[in-house]
Structure 1
């Protein structure tokens, strides 16, 4: 009888949806596969049960392209989750986004996460966050061993491939090096378009990365780096003998990579391994940011739900990820590496700076990613690459974020 009742209830739900009587909200994000299943189980299904609103979810690894086509066609989703505040700021400038005033608890998120634009409105907030100023290494690797591996390009686990967005692991490297070498003030100036790409600070970040990667020195190493996808870059760390030792990658890789799970991956703050680092407790961060494109009662209800501590906590638990909602404290259980990363993300003493390329105008972001690939193959072309990026920086009509660091005035040590 219980089984029959469950089937009957499911049939009624499907019948109501088919008749169009259940309100629907459309949601676009980049989660597919296992990530999509986690999202549905932890976030979407509880929302649907509680509010009797159907979520029409679309997941795509080419999310930016899908959203651009939908907006151009005049059929945007109600709600979108993007990793790039620069892209969202561009849509806000086109009047495609709706302000979230009164819909989200702004006081629960710091200004680096729910950034007010020049008009004073907030247009997005984070559903989940990751720390990026991290270098992973296998448990049992001594500090001396890590420093030795740092200076051997083949010991870095690097994969630049990521489909339409290939090259972003290189942008992460250069951004983090600039932040650690020159601090949040220089980083903020660069991300807001005021610091030239041809400046000594930016050039030093590129050349430091080039030396660590052995840019232009080994065709075999270059081939491995360019032909490997970022998600597979850590695979050699679990080989016997070990194929690489260190990986500069965001916090999400620890749970997504079976190689790091088998190697019991630990981490150092990247400042301990980046040559010439001077910044004090400065961290590059990234996030999946929720924005509203079409205002309906059910879309507003979904926005309120996703910004609630309950939804933030549920998604973080399902993904073994992190929330930066001040009302969702780090879990006291779990592995040490996870608890310390969660604490760092919420620490008021730390300086958190949003991923630079994600915060830049989309055209510059994409050109930056392409340039990192070109530089690895032809480091002698750096001057021309930086000149091209600087020309793009000065192009008129671009939207720049007023701030990407929550303590941009923090001093260097």
Structure 2
């Protein structure tokens, strides 16, 4: 039973008991927020959310889950969606907008919803904004042990992630393509206008295999079953010992010590110097799934300055979130400040995670193909996998009805 259903049941019981004096005359309205954060991250977000209760007459409850897609789908099917859900997949958000699940945002939130995190969509004859980023992350990063040779990296690889296993590998291929072929080709590929068998895309796959080098069957199997993150991070725990890891900014919470350095990934990917200023990014976007005007007002408040300041205050070092504009409060730890500077000042172009832009069916096929290629990085196997992906791409294109993602908003300069 969802938190809102529980609340409604309690409220109904209360109303039946009013004549007996069991309930007060008024109760605050409760809005339900569904999100991806659990553990310390979830507690920090929830603490911020409760601070937003003050003076509004509203009550907010947070439901955090690692199975966000499945939970949201079940709630929609049951006709009891959350008031607000926080998703990291633009492809899924586009599908929800086209299906009529989302309510367009108010003007105040729309002003903070700029590319590449929140494009405006043409749905039902109107160009509207349906979500806004709450926090963002930089992905084009390499973490390495201090003193390790930059020109001879031994790469850590962990590809397991419950139902979404494989995404650490798709991040590699996306980042390589971005730096080899540039943002324009990356955008056309992410939105389905460049074939998977295109030589530029194929080269990104083979470059990944070359960078990782030859691996024993035992090492391959170990990487396929190793979670992408552990209590101490892959650099400190993976066997055999490795020296470098390609991973996003969120991983800094396990590397909060001076023995690990972080730097842009461009220098490792065999790219072209003119594309060094391009970075892959991801975001967690809030969308309204109910018709309650109070839900739209909540998204406006969640994306505002006060909520961001409260969130940073409540989160511990290494878990303080990154926000999309240089004027927003940023992390206070040294590593976080360096990453925020790249994200908001040094980067010339930010490109949203390509697999999160793709329709969910294409994205899921990409995840599976990465796992299969990692296990068998041969030319024959790659031909087969890219052919399958082109078939999935063609099928997805048939369903690209009004509401599809505009190419112009996948990559953008920092700060909109």
Residues 31 and 61 in structure 2, CA contact (< 8 A), matched pair in contact too = yes
Give 3-state SS (helix, strand or coil) of 1:323's partner. coil
Cα distance per residue 1:175-232 (max 9 Å; x no partner): 00000111101101101110101101110111111122236x4112102211110112
- Alignment partner of 1:356 is 2:364: no
* C-alpha distance 30-239 of structure 1, shift in aligned 2 (>3 A): closer
Q: From 371, 374, 378, give the equivalent of 2:369.
A: 371
More displaced stretch, 353-362 vs 28-37: 28-37
Q: From 100, 116, 120, give the equivalent of 1:116.
A: 120
Residues 143 and 244 in structure 2, CA contact (< 8 A), matched pair in contact too = yes
* C-alpha distance 316-285 of structure 1, shift in aligned 2 (>3 A): farther
- 2-structure distance, mates of 1:61, 1:327: 30
- 2-structure distance, mates of 1:289, 1:368: 22
**Aligned match of 1:146:** 150
**Aligned match of 1:276:** 271
- Alignment partner of 1:131 is 2:138: yes
- Alignment partner of 1:90 is 2:95: yes
**Aligned match of 1:61:** 66
- 1-structure distance, mates of 2:142, 2:98: 36
* C-alpha distance 233-26 of structure 1, shift in aligned 2 (>3 A): closer
Residues 308 and 329 in structure 2, CA contact (< 8 A), matched pair in contact too = no
Residues 103 and 300 in structure 1, CA contact (< 8 A), matched pair in contact too = no
Number of positions where the alignment pairs a residue of Structure 1 with one of Structure 2:
378
**Aligned match of 1:401:** 405
Residues 309 and 325 in structure 1, CA contact (< 8 A), matched pair in contact too = no
Q: Aligned-pair distance for 1:242?
A: 8.1
* C-alpha distance 376-52 of structure 1, shift in aligned 2 (>3 A): same
Residues 101 and 121 in structure 1, CA contact (< 8 A), matched pair in contact too = no
Give 3-state SS (helix, strand or coil) of 1:261's partner. coil
Q: From 287, 296, 302, give the equivalent of 1:300.
A: 296
Give 3-state SS (helix, strand or coil) of 2:109's partner. coil
* C-alpha distance 294-138 of structure 1, shift in aligned 2 (>3 A): same
* C-alpha distance 347-235 of structure 1, shift in aligned 2 (>3 A): closer
Residues 135 and 323 in structure 2, CA contact (< 8 A), matched pair in contact too = yes
Residues 113 and 129 in structure 2, CA contact (< 8 A), matched pair in contact too = no
Cα distance per residue 1:107-133 (max 9 Å; x no partner): x44321221113421111111010000
**Aligned match of 1:238:** 236
Q: Aligned-pair distance for 1:326?
A: 5.1
Cα RMSD of the aligned pairs, angstroms, is 2.5
**Aligned match of 1:218:** 216
- 2-structure distance, mates of 1:189, 1:55: 40
- Alignment partner of 1:323 is 2:328: no
Q: From 225, 228, 233, give the equivalent of 1:227.
A: 225
- 2-structure distance, mates of 1:241, 1:56: 42
Q: From 87, 101, 105, give the equivalent of 1:100.
A: 105
Residues 234 and 245 in structure 2, CA contact (< 8 A), matched pair in contact too = no
**Aligned match of 1:206:** 205
Cα distance per residue 1:13-69 (max 9 Å; x no partner): xx999867210101111111221111112x211012342322232111110111112
- 1-structure distance, mates of 2:238, 2:99: 53
- 1-structure distance, mates of 2:201, 2:333: 38
* C-alpha distance 235-176 of structure 1, shift in aligned 2 (>3 A): same
**Aligned match of 1:290:** 286
Q: From 35, 38, 44, give the equivalent of 1:32.
A: 38
TM-score between both structures, scaled by the size of structure 1: 0.85
Residues 25 and 56 in structure 1, CA contact (< 8 A), matched pair in contact too = yes
- 1-structure distance, mates of 2:72, 2:40: 22
Q: Which runs of 5+ in 1 are unaligned?
A: 1-14, 150-154, 409-413
Q: From 244, 248, 251, give the equivalent of 1:250.
A: 248
Cα distance per residue 1:225-246 (max 9 Å; x no partner): 1111011296453369981110
TM-score between both structures, scaled by the size of structure 2: 0.85
- 2-structure distance, mates of 1:281, 1:234: 30
